[in-house]
Amino acid sequence: MNIKISWDRIELRKTKSDEFEIDGLKNYEGVPGVYIFCREYNGILNPVYVGKGKDIARRLCRNQQMNNHKLLKGIEQSGNGEKVLYIGKLSCKGDVIDKCLRVTEKALIEYAIELGYALLNINGVKEKSHTISFTGDIKIKSFTGNTMTRRTKLD
């Protein structure tokens, strides 16, 4: 498969009722893709939650993710910095959109955890992970590195 993602950055705004609002969501109606809620602080981007949807606008509308109070509370409490959303529009050939979405979401989650980011699950709880440390012969460490982090629940 040859999967292409085109990213857009969207700032999350807080409403008077203390909820997040996404401007321009209509631009993503019927668009399949992935999305990452992030915290941006001192120029550093920290992913907080990774998701996917066949229709990004519908997935992120108030009836779906934006109404998930546990997840939104976790994003809000993810630390100092601006809360932003990155939407990745999916482009893949053939009738394999579901598979492309699953592969891309899983790859993004695994990569974030491998880099040491503490992601939230759909319930707003931090994903559990294992850290493996390697010592000994230096040649094998060119493959393994010094440490490796993997999430506890493997799909």
Structural domain boundaries, residue 123: 4-127
Q: What is the pLDDT along the chain (155 residues), one digit of tens a residue?
A: 789 999 999 988 877 776 777 888 899 999 999 999 999 999 899 999 999 999 999 888 854 555 566 777 788 888 888 889 999 999 987 779 999 999 999 999 988 988 888 888 877 777 777 788 888 888 888 888 888 777 666 55
Contacts of 37 (CB under 8 A, 6+ apart): 12, 47, 48, 49, 51, 75, 83, 84, 85
In a domain, 118, yes or no: yes
Residue 38 lies in a domain: yes
In a domain, 56, yes or no: yes
Q: Is residue 143 part of a domain?
A: no
CATH number at residue 34: 3.40.1440.10
C-alpha 141: how far from its chain's center?
Answer: 29
Tell me if 69 is assigned to some domain: yes
Residue 155, domain member (yes or no): no
Note whether residue 30 is domain-resident. yes
Cα 49 to the center of its chain, rounded Å:
4
Does the residue 145 lie in any domain?
Answer: no
**What single-letter amino acid sits at 54?**
K
Give the count of domains, the chain. Answer: 1
Res 63: pLDDT:
43
Please name the helix (run of DSSP H) or strand (run of DSSP E) that holds residue 40, with its range, or none.
strand 33-41
Q: What is the pTM of this model?
A: 0.81
DSSP secondary structure, 98-144, as one string:
HHHHHHHHHHHHHHHHHTT---B-TTSPBPPEEEEE--S-HHHHHHH
